Structure 1
Amino acid sequence: MQGVLFALVPIFAWGSIGLVANILGGDANQQTLGMTLGAFVVALIVSLFRMPTLTWQIFLIGFIGGLFWVIGQFGQFNSMKYMGVSVASPLSAGSQLVFGVLLGVFAFHEWTKQIQFIIGFIAMAVLVVGFYFSAKRDPENAVVKEGHNYTKGLIALTYSTLGYVLYVILFNNLAVLWFNVHFDTLTIILPMSVGMIFGALVMGRFKIKMEKYVYRNIIDGVMFGVGNIFMLMAASTAGNAIAFSFAQLGVIISTIGGILFLGEKKTKKELVYVGIGSVLFVTGAILLAIAKSKG
């Protein structure tokens, strides 16, 4: 029960990031930099209490992982700008799951049993259908939403997914296979946060306006950092499958929040589409967790 309670924190912390960032304002560069600063604060506090042993290999891997993460987050903020939070959030999370799993399965042989392949591919089929409904628009709705551009949004989602998947694969697979480096989440978060800040500055070409929006979005980074810690605690007490499944439920918060609090108007048909897409996404994520647990 304790592990389940821990897993509830990432649901709300991570699920609210896109929503909160849009409420706080700023462009994608300012939101990303502010978020990285907040993540650094959390990582620094944790490191001061935990005093982890940092080798140069761990620092380098964490730093590079932070760079990949920034590409993912910057793209996600842009996709939300062009597509809306209620559309971009499930598409982003789902695409990370599908491509991350495919790479893990075929490149790193993470599935070894027949039951894993059966459940896993059913899960991905469910996710793909969920993608379709999440992005589906009502043909009778002729209103073009100001600032929305689905082509640019999909481009942003593409490099966002690439960045996130590379970040996860580096930490979960390549660090051990290529560099024989082992670490836990609380050890890697400090060097990762340093890489995140540097990456955010690079993405903004070192010309990011240090306005109030940057400092406001530090809140997002704190939410990300706290969610990370509780995700680790949930995994250690309830298992990775439970922690992973629950974390994916955050997409429901971002989807509903985008509609209720950001004024993302939907027709009745589009509300049904989004609802179906969200349910399918969560179902697919849970099935993937089950497939992983069968290993």
Structure 2
Amino acid sequence: MNYLIGLIPALGWGIMPLLATKAGGSEKNQIFGIGAGASIIGILAFIITKPSVSWQAFIFSMVCGAIWSTAQIGQFISFKRMGVSTTVPLSTVFQLVGNSIIGTLWLGEWQGAKALTIGFGALVIVVIGALLTSVTDKNGEEAGKITVGNVLFLLVTTIGYWVYSVFPNVFNKINLGAHSSEGIFLPEVLGILLGALLYLIFTGELKTFKDKEQYLNIIPGLSWGIAAFAYIFAGRGLGTNTAFVLTQLNVIIATFGGILILHEHKSPREMKYTVAGIICIIVGSVLTIFA
């Protein structure tokens, strides 16, 4: 049963980019939809579980959720620039490499020569995987989609994911009052919605509330919210390391979903490199838990 729960985050996070792309609209419509849909799940979960959370933890979690939204906005923009099947593997690698480096330098993880060797060896493998998935045979306008500028944009916006991923460790270092994993889930998703609203305000795009895509994108938001809430129980039932490895299956779902469902064309040669790259990313992700 725990493994079935552990597959829910991979499924939910894997199909979210596909649903959001199908729903259409701009990144403004999409990030609002994610925030609204996830908040619906957060409110229902809070009502059902009745968790404990201090006001300090509530506010801190909202801020982290808002920071996460900046990274997701960057990913939505990158979907349009490079396609889902290219963006998701690159984003996954950026997240894994960044989180691992932060964990090593700031949180004291991967201590000792053996851990460092395995850990950074795994990162080399996932970087190779990212390079393989970005191989293209296209010419002209199509080739222009995978540029240094587009990749760097995705990398810079990924910083929001890095901040979000380390905040549970901050909870352990500072006193934020009583709280549970279920308790901080609602403020996290409300923070995402807050970040989306601030983005609409500062870009002068409140008119997007007239777009039907603004509300269609609530569906992928529900998918994301269910996956995020299920991850709490997956980590509790399977352990953080095993749950994390299972979530990496979302790369497979999103990448090949982009090719098969969104019809993001890849030549036979590109497909070979993509498959090899995905294998490298999965293998590297698994190796990091042994570091």
TM-score normalised according to structure 1 size: 0.91
Aligned to 1:90: 89
Letter in 2 for 1:53: S
The alignment status of 1:23 with 2:22, answered yes or no, reads yes
2:207 aligned with 1:217: no
Structure 1 residue 175: Cα displacement = 2.6
- Structure 2: distance between partners of 1:184 and 1:152: 41
- Decide whether aligned partners of structure 1 residues 124 and 228 sit closer, same or farther in structure 2, where only a CA change above 3 A counts: same
Deviations 1:113-133 (CA, angstroms, capped at 9, x unpaired): 443222211110101111111
CA 252–259 in structure 1, closer or farther in 2 if over 3 Å, else same: same
Match of 1:266, SS state, is coil
Unmatched tracts of structure 1, length 5 or more: none
Residue 60 of structure 2 is aligned to residue 61 of structure 1? yes
- Does residue 194 of structure 1 match 2:193? no
Corresponding position of 1:245 = 245
Task: Report the residue type matching 2:189 in the other structure.
Answer: S
Contact 2:53 / 2:179 at 8 angstroms: preserved in 1? no
Which residue of 2 is the match for residue 236 of structure 1?
236
Please state whether the residue corresponding to 1:253 is helix, strand or coil: helix
- Give the alignment partner of residue 150 of structure 2, picking from 137, 150, 153: 153
Counterpart Cα distance in 2 of 1:196 and 1:228: 13
**Could you list the per-position Cα deviations for residues 186-224 of structure 1 after superposition, in whole angstroms to 9, with x for gaps in the alignment?**
111111122111111222225240111111111111111
Instruction: Give the structure 2 partner of residue 41 of structure 1.
Output: 40
Q: Deviation of residue 159 (structure 1)? A: 2.9
Contact kept? 2:34, 2:222, Cα under 8 Å: yes
Match of 1:176 among 172, 176, 179: 172
Amino acid at match of 2:84: V
User: How far apart are 1:289 and its partner, in Å?
Assistant: 2.3
Determine the structure 1 residue equivalent to 2:205. Answer: 207
Displacement of 1:37: 0.2
- Can you list the C-alpha shifts for 1:66-87, whole angstroms capped at 9, x where unaligned? 1111011111111111111000
Paired residues of 1:130 and 1:277 also in contact (CA < 8 A): yes
Shift of 1:107: 1.0
Aligned in 2, Cα 1:71/1:120: closer, same or farther, shift over 3 Å? Answer: same
Paired with 2:89 and 2:146, the residues of 1 have a C-alpha distance of: 17
Q: Deviations over 1:4-45 (max 9, x none)?
A: 111111111101111111011111111000110000000000
In structure 2, stretches of 5+ residues that fail to align are: none
CA distance in 1, matches of 2:85, 2:119: 26
Alpha-carbon shift at residue 136 of structure 1 (Å): 1.7
**Which deviates further from its counterpart, 185-194 or 87-96?**
185-194
Displacement after TM superposition at 1:59 (Å): 1.2
Aligned residues of 1:82 and 1:150 also touching (Cα < 8 A):
no
Return the alpha-carbon distance in structure 2 between the equivalents of residues 114 and 236 of structure 1: 30
**Do residues 130 (structure 1) and 129 (structure 2) align?**
yes
Q: Give the equivalent residue in structure 2 for 1:50.
A: 49
Which moves more between the two structures, 18-27 or 230-239?
Answer: 230-239
Matched ranges for 1:254-293 at <5 A: 254-291=254-291
CA-CA distance at 1:146 after TM superposition: 9.5
Identity of aligned residues (%): 31
Q: 1:164 aligns with which of 161, 164, 170?
A: 161
Preserved CA contact (<8 Å) 2:52 2:178: no
Q: Could you say if the C-alpha distance between residues 146 and 272 of structure 1 is closer, same or farther in structure 2, counting changes exceeding 3 Å?
A: closer
Which structure 2 residues correspond to residues 100-119 of structure 1 after superposition, within 5 A?
100-119=99-118
Higher mean C-alpha deviation, range 282-291 or range 70-79: 282-291
Q: Is the 8 A contact 2:52 2:180 kept in 1?
A: no
Whether the 8 Å CA contact 1:58–1:183 is kept in 2: the answer is: yes
Deviates more, 1:152-161 or 1:242-251: 152-161
What is the CA distance between 1:111 and its match in structure 2? Answer: 2.3
